[in-house]
């Protein structure tokens, strides 16, 4: 195959305001009830001043971006299925607090048509324009 599903520079974005329900539902699903996420009074005494969203919730939004990229390039062909191989270099640079709006940009940085995979850089910005998270994502198209 001479062409691949994506090319370097292809990008998608996803934006979401992180609500209290997002944090509580995520805590319930994962069992992560750390006070950092669910106890406003506890966090009021911290340097952050407010509850912070789970980092893994932000990674979940990164997964949404991968899904958007798969949709943008036409999904899967008849003989291949796109699957996530994982996230590398995940870093949470600043906290995301309840009420923040995060905008994620997922940009294809590398492709390897022989391995049938792409690598994307992901940036997470808050509504103030602060870079709050980054990661790299590996997506592979697996033959049936």
Listed in order, strand segments (DSSP E) in the chain are: 11-17, 80-92, 101-112, 117-125, 131-143
pLDDT at residue 144, rounded to an integer:
85
Strands 80-92 and 11-17: unpaired
Q: Facing residues of 112 across strands?
A: 117
Q: Is the pLDDT of residue 1 over 50?
A: no
Nearest-CA neighbor of 84 among 122, 55, 123, 53?
122
Q: Which domains does the chain have, with CATH numbers?
A: 11-143 (3.10.129.10)
This prediction has a pTM of 0.93
What confidence tens digit (pLDDT) does each residue in 23-75 have? 999 999 999 999 999 999 999 999 999 999 999 999 999 999 999 999 998 87
What confidence tens digit (pLDDT) does each residue in 92-131 have? 999 999 999 999 999 999 999 999 999 999 999 999 999 9
């Amino acid at each position: 195959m001479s062409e691949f599903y994506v090319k370097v520079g292809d990008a998608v974005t996803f934006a979401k305001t992180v609500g209290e329900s997002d944090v509580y539902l995520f805590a319930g699903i994962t069992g992560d009830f750390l006070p950092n996420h669910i106890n406003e009074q506890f966090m009021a005494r911290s340097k952050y001043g407010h509850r912070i969203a789970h980092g893994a919730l932000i990674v979940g939004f990164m997964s949404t971006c991968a899904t958007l990229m798969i949709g943008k390039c036409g999904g899967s062909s008849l003989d291949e299925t796109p699957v996530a191989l994982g996230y590398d270099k995940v870093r949470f640079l600043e906290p995301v607090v309840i009420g923040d709006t995060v905008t994620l940009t997922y940009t294809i940085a590398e492709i390897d048509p022989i391995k049938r995979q792409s690598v994307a850089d992901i940036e997470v910005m808050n509504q103030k324009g602060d870079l709050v998270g980054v990661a790299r994502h590996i997506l592979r198209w697996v033959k049936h």
